[in-house]
Amino acid sequence: MLRVRKKRLTNLLVMKKTIGFSNKNNMWTSKYDYVASNYSTIDKKFFSSNKLTTSDSTIAWRHNEGLPNTFYDTAYPSTVAVSFANNPSENKIYKSMSLEGSGNFANVVNAFTTSEFISPSGSREYINAGLVKNYGGINYAHLGRDPRIRPTADLKYMGFFGPIGFGVGFLLDLLVLGTDNLYMFPIQGPVVGVGQSESNITKILFKTESSNVFYVREGSVNSIAVGDKYSDISTSIAIANERDLEGTDFETAYQPKSLIVKIDSASVGTLGQLIQNSDIVSVFSLCDPKHCGDTMRGQYAEAHFTFPAQPFELYSLNLNYEPTSLDHSK
């Protein structure tokens, strides 16, 4: 008998959440961050006791009064999760989402995902889309951008360079600008500006005639794999930003027939050797998908909204999307 009671107490102590069930609707309704040891009702009032009651704790806690989502003097945020599964056989381009309700939605955090971000094991990867913002009295929730690298959306061709005697001599023309490992790449091609800034670190990738797209990290060559994300690309070569160029004679990294980059000395040698062994090395810029990535796509979507511990009412969630021609039902 003593062994059974000890086991029940152990199970109670390791519980992390409380799950609510509605007898009226015969369904599970919600999850709560508190854990109680017992519940009771007195004259239509609902009470519970904390599982770790001490001598100076409130033995009985009355629910449904005071601030919302406050249990045992601790306030918790509210999380609302919704699924959008209208015509799940149809592939969609998700554009925007809005919230209708009353209360202050300025600090509401939005996370978004689609069917393309569900792994074979069933786990979901949510894109942290930031805070809900008010425009003209309407609360809009940003959906974020696809964090995966998509050649048509994220990679921009900037030009090429080759060995000495092939248009541009990399080793002879590589110009050291000064401190902080700044170099000027002589490039034949458009050298299109991609909007480098402090919060948008544009990375440099390369491709030879005999290789896939790769990046250089501390002197080592690393190929881009299918499904890689921007955060996975830890390169030692990046376009110089305004702070990097302070103290030089240049205001921008994009110069006629050249590009100013920040690169470590080990990667300079590795890249120079690769260029000497290849006829042409193509140069690409990889923009942070948070700023210029592809739009979110999929057959269905899910969104999580986290509301601060304050009163609010949520009437409706609206998702704007555009159907594509890829429809399994057709």
Which region among 8-22, 41-55, 261-275 has the lowest average model confidence (pLDDT)? 8-22
Highest mean pLDDT among 59-63, 275-279, 314-318: 314-318
Average pLDDT over residues 205-219: 85
Between CA 277 and CA 160, with CA 213 as vertex, the angle to 5 degrees is 60
How many CB atoms within 10 Å of residue 71? Answer: 17
Decide which of 27 and 148 is more confident.
Answer: 27
Average pLDDT over residues 213-240: 83
Please answer whether residues 63 and 49 qualify as being in contact, where contact means their C-beta atoms are separated by less than 8 angstroms.
no
Where b means 16+ CB within 10 Å and e means fewer, 259-275 reads bbbbbeeebbebbeebb
CA 123 from chain center: how many Å? 16
Burial of 90 (0-12, 13-18, 19+ CB in 10 A): middle
What confidence score (pLDDT) does residue 279 get? Answer: 66
Please tell me what DSSP assigns to residue 256: T
Please tell me what DSSP assigns to residue 296: P
- Which residues does residue 202 pair with via DSSP β-bridges, in sequence order? none
pLDDT digits (tens, 9 = 90+) for 241-265: 888 888 788 888 888 777 888 888 7
Query: With the C-alpha atoms ordered 63, 67, 69, 74, is the resulting torsion angle positive or negative?
Result: negative
How many CB atoms within 10 Å of residue 279? Answer: 12
CA dihedral angle for residue 187, residue 184, residue 293, residue 120, rounded to 10 degrees: 90
Residue 92: pLDDT band (50, 70, 90) is: very high
Q: For the chain, which residues make up each domain, given as ranges?
A: 2-76, 79-144+296-327, 155-292
pLDDT digits (tens, 9 = 90+) for 190-211: 655 555 555 557 788 888 888 8
- Cα distances from 163 to residues 169, 170, 214, 236, 267, in angstroms, run 5, 6, 18, 21, 17
Q: Cα separation of 260 and 247, whole Å?
A: 14
What confidence score (pLDDT) does residue 321 get? Answer: 92
> Is the confidence at residue 295, as pLDDT, over 70?
yes
What confidence score (pLDDT) does residue 51 get? Answer: 62
Q: What percent of the chain has a predicted confidence (pLDDT) above 70? A: 80
SS3 state of residue 103: coil
> Is the confidence at residue 8, as pLDDT, over 50?
no
Please tell me what DSSP assigns to residue 9: H
> Is the confidence at residue 166, as pLDDT, over 60?
no
- Cα distances from 218 to residues 40, 154, 178, 187, in angstroms, run 64, 23, 19, 22
- Which residues does residue 39 pair with via DSSP β-bridges, in sequence order? 48
Query: What is the layout of strands, in order, in the sheet containing 301-307?
Result: 78-84, 301-307, 109-114, 127-131
**Consecutive H or E run containing 84:** strand 78-84
Q: Cα separation of 252 and 37, whole Å?
A: 64
Residue 93: pLDDT band (50, 70, 90) is: very high
The chain-wide mean pLDDT, for the chain, equals 77
Average pLDDT over residues 277-289: 79
What confidence score (pLDDT) does residue 5 get? Answer: 38
> Is the confidence at residue 74, as pLDDT, over 60?
yes
Q: Which tokens is 1 given?
A: 């008998």
- Of 224, 230, 234, the C-alpha closest to 264 is 234
Average pLDDT over residues 54-76: 78
